[in-house]
Amino acid sequence: MTITANSQLSNVFSQNLESISSKTDGSLPTLGAELVYTQDGTGCYLTFCWQYSELLGLNTEKIVDELNQTQTFAPVDKVTYLERLHRVLTSLVPERFQCWFSYHKELFELDLVISPIMPSLGTTATTVLVMGRLVQATLNKKQARAASKTPTQIELAIRSQQHQKLVNRITRNIRRTLDLDIIWQQTVDSLGKALRLERCIICPYQPSSSKVQVKAEYRQPELKSMLGSDIDIASEPAFAQALATLEPVMMEVPGYKDKESGRQKTLVIATCYQDQANGLVALNWQDECYTLTESELELAKEAADQLGTAIAHATLYEELEIARQKAEEASRLKSEFLANVSHEIRTPLNGMIGFLKLILEGMADDPEEQNQFLAEAHQLSIHLLNIINDILDIAKIEAGKMELAYAPVKLDELFSHVEGFMRPQAEMRNLSFRMQMPATSDEIIVQSNYQRLLQVMINLVGNAIKFTHEGGVTVSADLVLKKANFQDQQFPGMVRVRVADTGIGVSLDKQDKLFQLFSQVDGSRTRQYGGTGLGLAISQKLVEAMGGEVHFYSLGEGLGSTVTFTVPLYQQPVMVSSNDSDSTSSAEC
């Protein structure tokens, strides 16, 4: 007989192989086939006869024991071979297939027919008869593995059914919840277990970001976790291509393959909703020769579309939930604000009414006491006016109707005005009060609105005094000589004003509330400090409207605080040289 081979046979087969084959008359000791053996359900050989046993160095007398003990002649893909063997024993239907066997360093492709040996009636089949012939021998293990993985039509049909069931199961699972974390984890677990993957990850995607983060992961225990890690899209060709084409991409991705386990393939699929990508799924498996068919890729795309829709719905639900919570929080803050404002308004009103009533009822002992009552009522009326002005200011700002006229403002005049207002208040509380100007030989002039800038400084300094029990308050300024643009005009730099105190400070987790409208760190009506909670918010809006920024710093409760704000520098002053610094120090008021 003649051996048909697609590649040159191994050197194991000597030049005498053809002559030995030609002498074979087909009447082998078994069923007349080139290769015949029987096996039990575990794959152990019961009998074995092959025309080329002697050429391989197999002892024909002890061949069965030798094969079972050493397993030197065995399928390359043992798992698939045993699955087929068990299927034949269960169905009692013979199957024909091609399979690669290894013997030491040699590889042989065999054309086999595996048939069940029919058992007695009422018993289960436990043995198979395998007959076959040699197709080719090779030393290229990569080609052997590839050939051993070539699926038959039946296998493709079975695989397609399994994958369709998997897609249906994933779809059912993700429709049962709107929790994104559960959707992601259930998906990777289902894919990983069903397809026996090395790794499966899901990364949500935002078009505005150049990176994606691994939010859910399935992996084999020996692999290092990637959960929470960031992946740069530009450095991963598969990711970039999947996002650009919205089609499945099969390629190797060096970013997360395990070098020690050999070459791996990765299937990357972009999940999308209304043709907009919103996530990436990457499937990684060890066997480099497992090839996906076109129908399986379409199935993968269908699963990604289902997942993309679920992600979009869950994301929308989360956004609506966050919006609802924000609306409820805003409503609560406004209600709290109204309660605080009503308290703040009633307090000076009650005082004014009380003092005026004492005067009208003649309760003042003398004109001096009467004038004192009138002075107190006047002070309360000013306080009430300030509260009303704050409310009106924030209403104008929110409505976008706050109009500011800008003009050059001398910083020393502004500081002098602030000192006149605030130093008496600080001294009444036994606090030190210092104001420092930069060391310059000429005036510092900023571009701003004088009245609004004065309002901001009085507000910030007033807060510093109010929340400081001991120590003091320092107001200083310095120059940031870096060109800045505001209202289509370029300025030589910015002036940064700093208000620092040694007061009660603010804990780190509460500092984000400071610039929120209608919000205070302590919102209870019985709090120790008064106020409407609008001061810092108004100051921030006014400074931003004048081309600057406001920042708050505090290391925590009891550690004081510092507020800084910037305004454009109208013209660059002449700085005092270092030689003159000893004689010309910062002006201290």
pLDDT tens-digit map of 64-112: 887 877 777 888 888 889 999 999 999 999 999 888 888 777 778 888 9
448 exposed, middle or buried (CB, 10 Å; 0-12, 13-18, 19+)? buried
Residue 410 has a pLDDT of 92
DSSP, collapsed to helix, strand or coil, labels residue 285 as strand
Question: Region 437-460: what's the mean pLDDT?
Answer: 88
Closest by CA position to 237, among listed 224, 225, 255: 255
Contact yes or no for 293/326 (Cβ under 8 A): no
User: Which residues neighbour 193 within 8 Å (Cβ) at sequence distance 6 or greater?
Assistant: 218
What's the mean pLDDT when you consider all of the chain?
Answer: 79
**How far, in Å, are 369, 417, 457 from residue 379 at the CA level?**
15, 19, 20
Residue 176 has a pLDDT of 79
Rounded distance between C-alpha atoms, residue 170 and residue 180, angstroms: 14
Q: How confident is the model at residue 445 (pLDDT cuts 50, 70, 90)?
A: very high
Lowest mean pLDDT among 243-252, 256-265, 324-333: 256-265
Residue 160 has a pLDDT of 67
Locate 509 and state its tokens: 């987790």
Query: Does residue 324 carry a pLDDT above 70?
Result: yes
Of 288 and 40, the structure prediction assigns the larger pLDDT to 40
The identity of residue 440, as a single letter, is T
Rounded distance between C-alpha atoms, residue 543 and residue 541, angstroms: 6
Each residue's pLDDT tens digit, 122-147: 788 899 999 998 877 664 445 445 54
**How far, in Å, are 61, 142, 157, 296, 476 from residue 163 at the CA level?**
47, 26, 10, 8, 70
**How far, in Å, are 184, 253, 275, 303, 365 from residue 203 at the CA level?**
9, 15, 17, 15, 80
Task: Please name every residue paired with 407 in a beta bridge, in sequence order, or none if there are none.
Answer: 448
Query: Does residue 527 carry a pLDDT above 50?
Result: yes
Percent of the chain at pLDDT exceeding 70: 78
Residue 19 has a pLDDT of 38
Locate 500 and state its tokens: 């620092």
User: Which residues neighbour 255 within 8 Å (Cβ) at sequence distance 6 or greater?
Assistant: 231, 235, 236
Each residue's pLDDT tens digit, 366-400: 888 888 889 888 888 887 887 787 777 777 776 77
Locate 383 and state its tokens: 């306080």
Locate 581 and state its tokens: 């610094």
Each residue's pLDDT tens digit, 35-51: 899 999 988 989 888 88
- Tell me the backbone φ, ψ of residue 338, rounded to 5 degrees: -60, -40
DSSP state at residue 456 = H
Locate 461 and state its tokens: 């300094």
Closest by CA position to 453, among listed 488, 507, 407, 512: 407
Query: Does residue 335 carry a pLDDT above 80?
Result: no
Ranked by mean pLDDT, the top range of 103-107, 357-361, 565-569 is: 565-569
Contact yes or no for 364/370 (Cβ under 8 A): yes
- 0.85 exceeded by pTM: no
Rounded distance between C-alpha atoms, residue 522 and residue 508, angstroms: 14
Sequence length of the chain is 589
